[in-house]
Structure 1
Amino acid sequence: MKTLLLGTLLASVLWGQKDVEFRGRRAWRLENDRLRVTVLKGGGHVAELVLKNPPGGREVNPLWIPPWPSIEPSTYSKEKYGSVYGTDSEAATLAGIMGHNVCFDYWGAPSEAEFRAGLSFHGEVSNLAWYDVGSRESAGSLAFTYRVDLPESRTALTRTLRLKPGEPVLYFEETAENKTAFDRPFGWVEHVTFGPPFVDPKSAFFDASATQGERGSGDQRREGRWPQVSERDFRRFSQEPRSADMAYFLLDPSREVEFISALNTEYRQLVAYMFKRRDFPWLNLWEQNRDRMHLPWKGEAQTRGMEFGNTRAGSTARSYFRMPELWGTPTFGWLDAKAKLTARYLAVMVPVPDGFDGVRDIRLEGREIVIEPSRGGTAIRVPFDPSLF
């Protein structure tokens, strides 16, 4: 009885949700016996996702931590911080960005008029403080809910993160709310960005349930099929000293559940996201390899973004109507007047065996996530709770 009580008390200390500081930022931390997750209060970004007790004992955060100092994004002003982060429409967002940020109610740059009115890249959501709605713990399971209200668009976004004992799985539930009496077009993108040391040209591999895609624009626009577009293999990070790239892919229309994944063969760890195609049919892939020289980049950043969302049109409402559909798929969504829309998805992080250098498929079977290696062999099976997906 004493042993059981001690174990329960120890779990309550080591697991659960608490306030922490992460790289100088105010944050919440969630833990179970398999994962450590850190979420920034400013912007709501998932800044850290770490597998506990990995092969060789080498913990690694696959998510991108920028090489510049980070501030609470709501404190940005060009007068105070323009010399550090720049003064363009990306500056406020870059001042506080980390890891996996959500873009809502648009993705990409605001129009010039919107920028003059105070908007920045990827919507208000990245630059405001989220607040704690509450957490629940039961039988070792944890649910933590946080929310942000967006005053300019009169929308709101609520996110619940869940962890269950014994599972290296982070469950997401997000609800978008339209507070206005008008139907509205909107973009909603999960801006998942991976970075060093997980992103390494020699040991990083990326996979996705993607199909046709395009790279470039105008006269330089080229089409291809995942992972190849105009001789570029997007499964791998660029081998060039300096480069930048961007491509867009349609996720497989024959699937109900899609995936993206990132693998590091040196760390022998894989992270993947799984989501429903009805929520997020598009994949935007972007890569920055020490190419941007302006503030705050200064030729130092290496990143690989694997962003899944409901939009292919990177900007605000004007761009939606210029290209409302591509390849038989809408390039944006509609949020009805006074309505709410909920999406559920998950992230899973697992160790992989020696020789594992890519993913053929990731699917759900009953109460398991099944990860098939690209070269055949034994699949990795991970327990999960279908009721949370």
Structure 2
Amino acid sequence: MNPYQACTHERNFGSRLREIVWRGHRCVILENERLRVLVVADKGADVLEFLYKPLDVELLWHSYHGLRRAGPERASSPLPEGPFRDQFAGGWYEMLPNGPEPSVHRGASFGFHGEATFLPWDYRIVTDEPERVVVTFSVRLVRLPIYVEKTLTLAQGASTLVIDERLVSEAGHTIEVLWGQHPTFGWPFLEAGCRVFLPPCRARVGAAPPSGHRLRPDQEAPWPHLAGVDGSVVDLSIVPGPDARSHDFVRLDDLSDGWYAIVNPHRGLGFALRWDPALFPTLGLWQLLRGGVDYPWYGQPYLMALEPACDLPSLAGAAARGAAIRLEPGAPVTTRFEATVFTGLAEVLSVGKDGNVR
């Protein structure tokens, strides 16, 4: 024991936790010498801050209205696709049990991204020591009988947040889900000239892309080169600035491994995510670069999301293709994500386990 420190449960060094109420929502902060991660338990256990402290750079995008205050919503008119766009605070949220397209499956209707991101989650502090903090968040979904656990671990001195997740079906027969993660990146981390690194894969643009797209519709090619609407060759690995005024969604399949990295060469800073490609074989690339003229964007957001998922965009479509995750009664499905902030690399060749970026 440190002879100068009789107790460590009220500390402000090493790994530590803070339980706070922000705009009426219960939140938990996991922090160490390098990272500060804020999780909103009362809204989907969303990660709304992922701050790299040595450079004071926030990596995640925040919407202009941010986290809405807790309480009843007084919407002008209910949206047929669900309340997601009105309540999108930004950050990193769970796509469960549906993706970014409204869907009806097994008699239940789901709006954008399902329901996990709207629900209040319970949490319990598992470990609170200078060497390591561990918090488990949990929830039962409403329209599908599924129990979800998400355990976040941050070790002293580490630049990697470890996320262990578990789904358990409480239905009496086999059911299907669309499951994925949706980290959304923005300024000051995301800016013109940022680079996206991926293992070999194929990129596909749908036949009906968003309004303001810069990529030619209905095409498929090896990453990172696709055809632009103007006939040019677009290198998707290079992020344009806000003057692009574009809005694109690209589906990435046949990844040889489960990882990606984003590097900001101006700041010498990068973010890497590693996951299980057997469970999440698809990656969605969403770029909203001051495009999207009307509701809900109005040409304002500058953001990019890279979304590992079992399939996209809808649960009904994934189930019809046999690409949804099938949950047997009482049989858990578990997985791990590792999110790492790194410095000093202009290019990334691979992202290995335990935050090994090279």
Q: TM > 0.5 between the two?
A: yes
TM-score for both structures, normalised by structure 2? 0.86
Q: Distance in 2 between matches of 1:226 and 1:74?
A: 44
2:270 is the alignment partner of 1:270: yes
Partner of 1:234: 236
Matches within 5 A, 1:148-187: 148-187=139-178
TM-superposed CA distance for 1:36, in Å, is 1.0
TM-superposed CA distance for 1:214, in Å, is 0.7
Please list the CA deviations of residues 122-179 of structure 1 after superposition, one character each: whole Å capped at 9, or x if unmatched: 1110111111133312462111011121121111211000011121110100111111
Matches within 5 A, 1:215-230: 215-217=205-207, 220-230=217-227
TM-superposed CA distance for 1:3, in Å, is 5.5
Partner of 2:61: 64
What amino acid is the match of 2:350?
D
Picking from 302, 318, 321, the partner of 1:320 is 318
Partner of 2:199: 209
Matches within 5 A, 1:286-297: 286-297=286-297
Q: Distance in 1 between matches of 2:143 and 2:70?
A: 16
TM-superposed CA distance for 1:68, in Å, is 2.6
Q: Distance in 1 between matches of 2:357 and 2:129?
A: 29
TM-score for both structures, normalised by structure 1? 0.80
Structure 2 CA distance for partners of 1:264 and 1:295, relative to 1, 3 Å = same
Q: Distance in 2 between matches of 1:304 and 1:128?
A: 24
Whether contact under 8 Å (2:167, 2:332) holds in the other structure is yes
Matches within 5 A, 1:46-61: 46-53=47-54, 58-61=55-58
**3-state SS of paired residue (2:318):** helix
Q: Which structure 2 residue ranges, 5 or more long, are not aligned?
A: 209-215, 228-232
Structure 2 CA distance for partners of 1:369 and 1:119, relative to 1, 3 Å = closer
What amino acid is the match of 1:363?
G
Partner of 1:385: none
Partner of 1:328: none
Structure 2 CA distance for partners of 1:40 and 1:336, relative to 1, 3 Å = same
Using the aligned pairs only, state the percent identity.
Answer: 22
What amino acid is the match of 1:144?
V
**3-state SS of paired residue (1:320):** helix
TM-superposed CA distance for 1:94, in Å, is 4.3
Q: Distance in 1 between matches of 2:159 and 2:150?
A: 19
Higher share of residues assigned helix? 1
What amino acid is the match of 1:190?
Q
Q: Distance in 2 between matches of 1:88 and 1:301?
A: 23
Bigger Cα displacement from structure 2, 17-26 vs 232-241: 17-26
Partner of 1:43: 44
Q: Distance in 2 between matches of 1:266 and 1:336?
A: 48
Picking from 131, 135, 146, the partner of 1:144 is 135
Count of residues in Structure 1 that have an aligned counterpart in Structure 2: 342
Q: Distance in 2 between matches of 1:74 and 1:178?
A: 30
Whether contact under 8 Å (2:152, 2:163) holds in the other structure is yes
What amino acid is the match of 2:329?
A
Q: Which structure 1 residue ranges, 5 or more long, are not aligned?
A: 325-330, 373-389
Q: Distance in 2 between matches of 1:274 and 1:35?
A: 18
Picking from 73, 76, 81, the partner of 2:75 is 81
Q: Distance in 2 between matches of 1:251 and 1:187?
A: 18
2:15 is the alignment partner of 1:13: no
Please list the CA deviations of residues 349-382 of structure 1 after superposition, one character each: whole Å capped at 9, or x if unmatched: 1222xxx433222224xxx64323xxxxxxxxxx
Q: Distance in 1 between matches of 2:262 and 2:356?
A: 15
Q: Distance in 2 between matches of 1:136 and 1:275?
A: 24
2:342 is the alignment partner of 1:350: yes
Partner of 1:359: 348
2:245 is the alignment partner of 1:248: no
TM-superposed CA distance for 1:247, in Å, is 0.7
Whether contact under 8 Å (1:175, 1:343) holds in the other structure is yes
